Amino acid sequence: MTDTVLHTPRLTLRPPQQSDWPAVSAFMETSGRLEFIGGTTADEFARWRAFLAGFGHWALKGFGFFTVLHDDTPVGRVGLIDHVMWEEPELGWHLFDGFEGKGFVTEAALAVRDWAYTTLGMGPLVSNIHPDNARSIRVAERLGATFERDATLLGQPSQVWRHPAPEGRA
């Protein structure tokens, strides 16, 4: 794991810790917003395996989803994923229930994107978004991303949204 911690005026973004389990588990078990990323699961062991996969991503790739904290409370996860079936690294996000509408995702995603560009040397990132996920599409637009093309991801319809290139890069 890495010791990378990012800060914005209101948020702290850090790699996952075991103490995040209750918030992540509750989100995976009950949130209605998971319909576009695999749905909820009542199976605690399946949730635990998914939680552990986040640690593995950091160990293998050196990046992953950050836990987003506001006043030391986990409010969601934002980060980079690059699964074996992905065409390229993706900037992704989700908020835990009750923290919507405060701009946390946009603020955190801008910080992660800047880190990806400046520290990791990544180029213009994508976000893969289900075409019916209006909330995530609005976030992508606020981040300056533009619709690039329709795609299929994990057997589901998807849209590829391209983020702006970092300053001075094509």
| Residues 75 and 68: beta-carbon distance below 8 Å | yes
pLDDT band at 33 (very low <50, low <70, confident <90, very high): low
| Residues 15 and 58: beta-carbon distance below 8 Å | yes
Does residue 40 come out as left (phi exceeding 0), alpha (psi in the -120 to 50 range) or beta? beta
Query: Would residue 21 count as lying in a domain?
Result: yes
**pLDDT beyond 70 at 127:** yes
Query: Would residue 142 count as lying in a domain?
Result: no
Output the domain CATH number for residue 109.
Answer: 3.40.630.30
The CA distance from 25 to 22, in Å, is: 5
Query: Would residue 11 count as lying in a domain?
Result: yes
pLDDT band at 37 (very low <50, low <70, confident <90, very high): low
Number of independent structural domains in the chain: 1
Query: Would residue 128 count as lying in a domain?
Result: no
> 12 is in which domain, residue-wise?
6-122
∠ at Cα 27 (64, 101), nearest 5°?
85
Percentage of the chain modeled with pLDDT above 70: 89
Query: Would residue 138 count as lying in a domain?
Result: no
pTM reported for the whole predicted model? 0.90
The CA distance from 1 to 164, in Å, is: 28
Query: Would residue 132 count as lying in a domain?
Result: no
Query: Would residue 88 count as lying in a domain?
Result: yes
The per-residue pLDDT for 42 is 66
Residue 39 in tokens: 């749905």
Q: Bigger pLDDT: 166 or 162?
A: 162
Query: Would residue 151 count as lying in a domain?
Result: no
Closest by CA to 70, choosing from 102, 94, 92, 93, is 102
